[in-house]
Amino acid sequence: MHPLSRRHFIHHTALGLAGVATLSTAVRCGGTTRNTPHSKNPDSALAHLLSADLQTVLRDASLAPSSHNTQPWRIRIIEPLIWELEIDPSRRLPQVDPLNIELRLSLGAFIGNLRLSAAAHGYQTEIETRTDGEEKTIIRLHSDRAQAVSLDDLRLRRTIRKGLQDKEIAAADLDFLQKIAPEAIRFFPRRSPRGESLAQMTIEAFRAQSYRDPAQEELADWIRWSSREAESRRDGLTPASMDITGMAGWFVRTFYNRDSVLSSKFREQGVKMVIEQVENCGGWIVLEAENPALSTATLLQTGEHFLRLTLAARSRLIAVHPMSQTLEETPWKNEVAAQLGLQQRPAMILRVGYVDRYPRPVSLRRPPAEFCTTAG
């Protein structure tokens, strides 16, 4: 949701470094991934409060995407079937998301995953957003008959940034995706005038953001280069989630640190990567927010639309890559709606394209016990 293309721009740099490093060909990708067992099994702390099914619902919800993989959700368990969802202020991104727009979109995606998993486990979900005083969203679960909901796409969803094909999106597939939210989804073919305009704005906005030091420092704070830090934090961007594997993965896990992200070489490689990315895709999807005021309820709903769009796209072997820097940087964020002929404010910009296959997800997730608290 998200504005995450910068996650992978180090890939080419890392490959070059790996080529000159004296490394054994026996080195494997290694590193901490989503399937790496947590060392402490902290979810045992929830066992006396929630059933195994409800713990699974929370784990599934936490697989939602978020900018820099900050996982900005916090759940307070009022009763076993009544939860409060709120923003974790320590996981904000004030440099690229000062108004918490992308953050609320992430919470909407969290709710989207939660609804699907709850239905599969025999619960209806009721959502109430409160904005009086501290912003909170109340989630009420009601026992019901389990729905025939497949959770495979939810659990195997991931953002793909490379390998997208420069191939036109088939009309049948586009219709399938647009039915999710006809009033909110706008598609622009890559080679159309507006698609070309959006590609150019994306490059320019990304370049500006890369050389805006506070934004680059914020990115650096969320990259977990070492396996030790990745295992400890279970959030942020890791070499594996940035598609840096094999010898290159070993190299960056061993030698890269926060200062590496602030180097001119890193920034230059990022811009080169984005230029290559925008040239290779089937087009762009822009998600419009129905309410120009961008209320919390509107952004949560748009985040759910985004989540359902990514799951539907996966079923058609279409990658969805959020690239919303145009909405984050001045002057482009003030011009993009007019450039694209939109009547409403765009909430997300997504690069889309067919892929040969979907690799398995590797981005880290915190266990529910680390983002859940209890009432009282």
**Phi, psi (degrees; rounded to nearest 5) at 359:** -70, 160
Is the preceding peptide bond at 368 cis, omega within 30 degrees of 0? no
Mean pLDDT across the chain, nearest whole number? Answer: 88
* Whole-number Cα distances in Å, 138 to 58, 85, 100, 156, 212: 14, 6, 19, 27, 37
pLDDT for the residue 7:
44
Q: Given CA atoms 191, 192, 193, 195 in this order, what sign does their dihedral have? A: negative
Mean pLDDT, rounded, for 126-142: 87
pLDDT for the residue 294:
78
Residue pointed to by tokens 């190299």: 251
What are the tens digits of pLDDT across the range 273-318?
A: 999 999 999 999 999 987 666 788 899 999 999 999 999 999 999 9
By CB atoms closer than 10 A (0-12, 13-18, 19+), residue 331 is: exposed
What are the tens digits of pLDDT across the range 104-120?
A: 999 999 999 999 999 99
For residue 82, pLDDT beyond 90: yes
pLDDT confidence band for 31 (50 / 70 / 90): low
Gap between the Cα atoms of 305 and 344, Å rounded: 16
For residue 27, pLDDT beyond 50: no
Mean pLDDT, rounded, for 194-212: 97
pLDDT for the residue 295:
86
Q: Name 197's Cβ contacts closer than 8 Å, sequence gap at least 6.
A: 339, 340
Mean pLDDT, rounded, for 216-224: 97
> Would you state the structure tokens that stand for residue 94, as one six-digit string?
């004030």
pLDDT confidence band for 41 (50 / 70 / 90): low
pLDDT for the residue 240:
86
For residue 346, pLDDT beyond 50: yes
Gap between the Cα atoms of 119 and 141, Å rounded: 10
pLDDT for the residue 18:
33
What are the tens digits of pLDDT across the range 11-25?
A: 444 333 333 332 322
Check: CB of residue 15 under 8 Å from CB of residue 246.
Answer: no
| Lowest mean per-residue pLDDT among 34-48, 197-211, 358-372 | 34-48
Mean pLDDT, rounded, for 324-337: 96
Select the more confidently predicted residue: 11 or 98: 98
Mean pLDDT, rounded, for 70-80: 96
What are the tens digits of pLDDT across the range 224-271?
A: 999 899 999 999 999 888 878 889 889 989 999 999 999 999 999 999
Mean pLDDT, rounded, for 173-184: 95
For residue 39, pLDDT beyond 80: no
pLDDT confidence band for 40 (50 / 70 / 90): low
Domains in the chain: boundaries: 1-376
The fold adopted by the segment(s) 1-376 is: NADH Oxidase (3.40.109)
